[in-house]
Amino acid sequence: MGIFDRKDDTPKAKPDFSNVQSGSSSTAPAPTEPTGTTGTTSTSSSATYVVVNGDSLSKIAKREYGDANKWHRIYEANQDIIKDPDLIYPGQTLKIPGA
């Protein structure tokens, strides 16, 4: 009898966390931008994002703006460190312009 018993070896699918919504705020002020820079004058929090494995600009844009097509905004704000928008590296700290 027992020899026909089968263990359920089917691996459980990992949960999908791609639509997790996250955010943050602080009682501490955001760092001030160095003077002399050009570009946006947004007074919203100057967010930064540290690239992790598996990230792409569109993925970060989806997370930050809710729209993957806005990846070019991040690219334009970080052209000093991103030479190719298809190549970003874990550990890079990207500036995230205000939405």
Where along the sequence are the contacts to other proteins (CB under 8 A)?
Answer: 14-15, 17, 19-32, 45-50, 52, 93
At residue 1, what is the residue type?
Answer: M
Which C-beta is closer to other proteins: that of 22 or that of 35?
A: 22
For other proteins, give the closer residue by CB, 39 or 52: 52
Measured CA to CA, the distance from residue 64 to residue 59 in angstroms comes to 9
Instruction: Determine the Cα–Cα distance for residues 40 and 98; give it in Å rounded to an integer.
Output: 8
In the complex, minimum distance from the CB of residue 64 to other proteins, in angstroms, rounded to a whole number: 10
C-alpha 7 chain-centroid distance: 40
Q: Which is nearer to other proteins, 15 or 36 (CB)?
A: 15
